[in-house]
Homo-oligomer: A and B are copies of this chain.
């Protein structure tokens, strides 16, 4: 599928021919659905962001603590890493200078959404008394998201998801923890 190829090889690393082989249809048929590669890239980003948005909403509704929210957030990333992919937006962010502007905008919008959600999670942690870090929740959210993207990037280049696990555990522990045992 196109999404998988984009997350594995990047926007400049896959072609209409690659997708058509996997799907068993011709390039011309693909162009019927997505006239240009820009349109294809936009559709990919749109769907990816929408599914991620839904997943985050589900977590926010059902999680019983800020810690659980963040741990399940990390698991979303881990799930794509273990199958050899990167976050689609992390991948596109690396290639951003070569992307059509319409796709660049969507990359930033995805990051914005993630930062907002994490910011809410950390604010909840503060309310619960489990936030370990004194700082502004929004600023912490940026650091956290960037650190996760980087941890994925490096871990995948080694083919070792465990590297991501170690990093993400430490990272979560830095931000949130059990309430003080008083």
Which positions in A face B, CB cutoff 8 Å?
A: 8-10, 12-13, 84, 86, 90-98, 104, 107-108, 111, 133, 135, 139-140, 142-143, 145-158, 163, 166-167, 170-171, 174
Known: A10-B95, A140-B170, A147-B167; 6 extra A-B contacts, CB below 8 A, are A13-B95, A13-B98, A91-B94, A133-B174, A149-B150, A174-B174
Residues in chain B near residue A148, CB distance under 8 A: 150
Question: Are A94 and B96 interface neighbours, CB within 8 A?
Answer: no
Whether A149 lies near B143 (C-beta < 8 A) is no
Q: Shortest beta-carbon distance, A177 to chain B, in Å?
A: 13
B8, B149, B152, B167: which contacts A142 (Cβ < 8 A)? B167
Q: Knowing A13-B97, A98-B13 are in contact, say whether A145-B156 is a contact too (CB < 8 A).
A: no
- Which residues on the B side are within 8 Å of A142 (C-beta)? 154, 163, 166-167
Q: How far in angstroms is the closest Cβ of chain B from A49?
A: 14
Task: From B9, B98, B139, B145, give the contact of A154 (CB < 8 A).
Answer: B145
Rounded to whole angstroms, the CA-CA distance of A158 and B108 in the bound complex is 7
Secondary structure class of chain A's binding surface, majority of residues: helix
CA distance A150 to B114 in the complex (A): 14
Q: Is B12 a contact partner of A10 (Cβ separation < 8 A)?
A: yes
CB pair B154–A151 under 8 Å, yes or no, is no
Known contacts A84-B97, A139-B170; A153/B90 CB under 8 A: yes
A139 to B95, CA, bound (A): 29
Closest residue of B by beta carbon distance from A110: B157
Determine how close the nearest CB of chain B comes to the CB of A166; give it in whole angstroms: 6
Question: Which one of B9, B145, B151 lies within 8 Å of A146 (CB-CB)?
Answer: B151
